[in-house]
Amino acid sequence: MFDKLEDLLIRYQEILDELNDPSIANDQNRFRKLMKDQNDLSEIVDKYKEYKATKQSIEDSLVMLDEEKDEEMREMAKEELNDCKQRLGEIENELKILLLPKDPNDEKNVIVEIRGGAGGDEAALFAAELFRMYSKYAERNRWKIDMMNLNENGLGGFKEVVFMIIGKGVYSKMKYESGVHRVQRIPVTESGGRIHTSTTTVAIMPEAEEVDVELDLGDCRFDVFRSSGNGGQCVNTTDSAVRLTHIPTGIVISCQDEKSQLKNRDKAIKVLRSKLYEMELEKAHNAEAEARRSQVGTGDRSEKIRTYNFPQGRVTDHRIKLTIHRLDAVLDGDLDEVVDSLTAADQAAKLSKMQEE
């Protein structure tokens, strides 16, 4: 591990030297690449420098204990030594995590699909609540929401909602949300006061760039239709909505949130590209079955991942057996404890696998 860290430290210094060369300003592509490389390496280099400084402090404290006769100074050296030894272990763990292979999609925006599952209108109502939860979470992180398609059920619920979340590192936080979300509560339509169980499916897809997926528009059929649901006069009275059918896969995507047919068409293409990219990722995951088992459920839509129990006011994530008795806060977008716990569990699983190898 430390040989690799030394190599990274040398590479980091080479990047800094090249950036300090005045001639680099003449090659903007090279300059941007170097700046990105510097940004990617800075965190781990800073942590490694902290490790070396802490190790040096341990050696200095040992020398002081060996040479110092004054008891008060020796006590200070012992305290410093104990603190540094504890911190050194913490830094080693942090360095191991920083050295884990990065998910190339972590910095990407995501396209989110939420669909009501088992439970009819109640499932659609919960789909609307999940949309609100993710919208609030995005707001807390200063991310932007861009609506793509919405199919309402007339009771305030969503049969389906598709939207994009735009911001720094969105996929790294949202990737654990794919799967079946289960809700247990007394529906507003239930007159007997019985608790019902309904499900809603969430799919998280990293936004795919043109370089990620080769898409032949000749394989696509576009149909236009009149938008439905809430909207301004232009949305409901013109054929601005677009339905895209990808003939080779049979994937059908509808976009009607924009007043412009062209904008809806562009959004539909964006969703299709991300769906095709997700299919390629799934193939890669299946080809690396062992690696997939070491991960904390990041993509299987059929996996029941979480239960929201209203009578008990709790949220339980079944993958890591985490239970939080703050249901209202979670539904209000306070997802940090859940996301951080899932991230830590995923990192621990990957570290364990790396050590086995």
pLDDT in tens, 47-93: 999 999 999 999 999 988 888 788 888 888 899 999 999 999 899 88
Model pLDDT, residue 279: 86
Q: 149: which 2 tokens?
A: 């398609």
Which domain CATH number covers 26?
A: 1.20.58
Last residue of a domain, one of 65, 99, 133: 99
Same domain, 284 and 234: yes
Q: 5-42 pLDDT, tens per residue?
A: 888 899 989 999 989 988 888 888 888 888 888 888 88
146 shares a domain with 86: no
Count CB-CB contacts under 10 A for residue 67: 10
Please report whether residue 354 resides in a domain.
Answer: no
Among 70, 99, 128, the domain-final residue is 99
Average pLDDT over residues 230-251: 71
Residue 320 has pLDDT above 90, yes or no: yes
Q: Is the pTM of this model over 0.85?
A: no
Q: CB-based burial of residue 1 (10 Å sphere; 0-12 exposed, 13-18 middle, 19+ buried)?
A: exposed
Q: Alpha-carbon distance 158 to 135, whole Å? A: 14
Long-range contacts of 290-298, Cβ-Cβ distance < 8 Å, separation of 24 or more:
291/353, 294/349, 294/350, 294/352, 294/353, 295/346, 295/349, 295/350, 296/176, 296/320, 296/342, 296/345, 296/346, 296/349, 297/176, 297/178, 297/179, 298/175, 298/176, 298/178, 298/346
Give the pLDDT score at 148: 87
- Do 128 and 33 fall into the same domain? no
Q: Quick check: is 105 in a domain? A: no
Which range, 179-188, 216-225, 306-315, is most confident? 306-315
Residue 188 shares a structural domain with residue 166 = yes
Boundaries of domain holding 47: 2-99
Alpha helices in 170-217 (DSSP H): 170-174
- 21, two tokens: 């060369």
CATH number, residue 232: 3.30.70.1660
